[in-house]
Amino acid sequence: MSLSGRRVVLGVSGGIASYKACTVARRLTEAGAAVDVVLTAGGAQFVGPVTFEALTGRPVLTSLWERDRALAHVHLGHDTDLIVVAPATAHLLARAALGLADDILTAILLAARVPILIAPAMNDHMFAHPATQQNLEILRRRGWTVVGPVVGPLAEGPSDQRGRMVEPEVLFAFVERALRASTSRLRDRCVVITAGPTREPLDAVRVITNPSSGKMGYALAEEAFARGARVLLISGPTMLSPPPGVEIRRVRSTDDLQQAVEDALPGADVLVMAAAPADFRSAAPEPHKRPRREGQITLTLTPTADVLETTVDARPPHCVVVGFALELADGTQRAREKLRLKQLDLIVLNYVNEADAGFEVDTNRVTLITPDGETVLDLMPKRAVAQHILDAVEARV
Ligand code: CTP
């Protein structure tokens, strides 16, 4: 569990988005964090303390005047790793910016000696109001991290202006990053990750591609973001949503991928080539849709560029480069050969013909190979594989 032993105060103020705070409390608890929920009077009107106590397994604070928990505001402001306020209403932001301490949550915020992350949520006009913008600016200058709000439906109906709180999964990603980045060597580093297949046209509608889902690359992007990296995800066509906080550049063909990698490399500290580029393209793609009744086709296929090999010279000298090797059987020798030819620091060997690993599934079974050693890993979720890969990268950064 990635957040074992970590302590989080989750402040909830009075907005309808407090229903999302329930999911955040649950996700943090499942990830191993001890979550102390603190409700304002308005927050408790929307979701009661019993709900949060059931979700976190810990008592919830609602008042400064609980006699058996005197000084709780001071203790919680100090003996915790992070304070999160979600939702943060316009009124809460105003009170915090002024330094008021008229309830348990604002008292904790004033006594705090730990990082603070807030997820504003309110009516779009309230958010756009100069008073709210000024308060947010004050809090940002104090070092608070502000996540959202985003454009989306509000309690009063559809809106094309910002005001809606970010979704729980997005907030969770930022909370995880706030908790984990300080101990990672990838913090503030530029990590470029490629993911998914590429497509090479045969005619106007048909393509050569492969069954890569992009899941391994997307898991790597999520994990790198959680470690505090600036992440650029170069993605071929996939059905996946971009991970929160990650910059995405979409590509189609292997040539597009090569161009995108070339553009990104000068600023990159790490390159992980998890993409499965199409290795062949039609020598003469047809501009029209070829009718089936024309019968059998003979295609001449030519190899596409090898992105890793052709971009060796564009790599900054300190850049740590990771490749993958997809093999049929006994792949260690072939993977070592690719490691050498493509001048990699690490190659991740996996096999094509395993039902629970490789393409399209959520798990993978890999061996990490470096010039001087190898580590065989058991079957595990791709996010856990991503952790092992990035641990190995951190050792080389
Ligand atoms: N790769 C690349 N450009 C390509 C094909 C692959 O940069 N046109 C990268 C992949 O992203 C991966 C590594 O090279 O990180 C190895 O890919 P793999 O498909 O195993 O090997 P190939 O080099 O394509 O060799 P072969 O098809 O002969 O196994």
Locate all alpha helices (DSSP H) within the chain, ordered by sequence: 18-30, 41-46, 49-56, 72-78, 90-98, 104-111, 124-128, 130-141, 168-180, 215-226, 254-264, 307-310, 332-341, 382-394
Looking at residue 2, its pLDDT comes to 81
For ligand 1, the distance from its centroid to the CA atom of residue 240, given in whole angstroms, is 22
306 dihedral zone (left: phi>0; alpha: psi -120 to 50; beta): beta
Dist. CA 221–CA 223, nearest whole Å: 5
Report whether 52 contacts 22 (CB < 8 A).
yes
Beta bridge mates, 351: 327
Report whether 184 contacts 196 (CB < 8 A).
no
Phi/psi of residue 199, nearest 5 degrees? -125, 135
Looking at residue 231, its pLDDT comes to 98
Two tokens, residue 145: 């991290």
- Ligand 1 neighbour 53 (Cβ under 6 A): no
For ligand 1, the distance from its centroid to the CA atom of residue 360, given in whole angstroms, is 18
Report whether 55 contacts 25 (CB < 8 A).
yes
Dist. CA 18–CA 46, nearest whole Å: 7
Dist. CA 116–CA 84, nearest whole Å: 6
* pTM confidence score: 0.93
Select from 305, 303, 301 the least CA-distant residue to 285.
301
Report whether 190 contacts 99 (CB < 8 A).
no
- Ligand 1 neighbour 170 (Cβ under 6 A): no
Pairing of strands 200-201, 207-208: antiparallel
Give the relative orientation of helices 215-226 and 382-394 as an angle to the nearest 10 degrees: 50
- Ligand 1 neighbour 344 (Cβ under 6 A): no
Looking at residue 240, its pLDDT comes to 97
Looking at residue 366, its pLDDT comes to 94
For ligand 1, the distance from its centroid to the CA atom of residue 351, given in whole angstroms, is 13
For ligand 1, the distance from its centroid to the CA atom of residue 383, given in whole angstroms, is 22
- Ligand 1 neighbour 311 (Cβ under 6 A): no
Sequence-distant contacts of 139-142: CB under 8 A, at least 24 apart: 139/93, 139/96, 139/97
Q: From the CA of 304, give the closest atom in ligand 1.
A: 8
For ligand 1, the distance from its centroid to the CA atom of residue 279, given in whole angstroms, is 8
Q: Which residues of 296-330 are buried (b: 16+ CB within 10 A; e: fewer)?
A: eeeeeeeebebbbeebeeebeeebbbbbbbbbeee
Pocket test for ligand 1, best of 251, 271, 273, 341 (most atoms within 8 A of CB): 273
Two tokens, residue 236: 């071929």
For ligand 1, the distance from its centroid to the CA atom of residue 340, given in whole angstroms, is 13
Looking at residue 67, its pLDDT comes to 66
Q: Which of 210, 350, 353, 364 is catalytic?
A: 210
The pLDDT profile of the chain, 397 residues, written as one tens digit per residue, is: 689 999 999 999 999 999 999 999 999 999 999 999 999 999 999 999 999 999 999 999 998 877 677 677 777 778 899 999 999 999 999 999 999 999 999 999 999 999 999 999 999 999 999 999 999 999 999 999 999 999 998 888 888 999 999 999 999 999 999 999 999 999 999 999 999 999 999 999 999 999 999 999 999 999 999 999 999 999 999 999 999 999 999 999 999 999 999 999 999 999 999 999 999 999 999 999 999 999 998 999 999 999 999 999 999 999 999 999 999 888 999 999 999 999 999 999 998 877 777 677 888 899 999 999 999 999 999 999 999 999 999 999 9
Q: From the CA of 279, give the closest atom in ligand 1.
A: 8
Which amino acid does the sequence have at 77? Answer: G
Q: From the CA of 276, give the closest atom in ligand 1.
A: 11
139 dihedral zone (left: phi>0; alpha: psi -120 to 50; beta): alpha
- Ligand 1 neighbour 254 (Cβ under 6 A): yes
- Ligand 1 neighbour 88 (Cβ under 6 A): no
CA distances from 230 to 190, 227, 248, 257, 263 (A): 5, 9, 11, 19, 16
Select from 89, 129, 121 the least CA-distant residue to 105.
89
210 is catalytic: yes
Q: From the CA of 341, give the closest atom in ligand 1.
A: 23
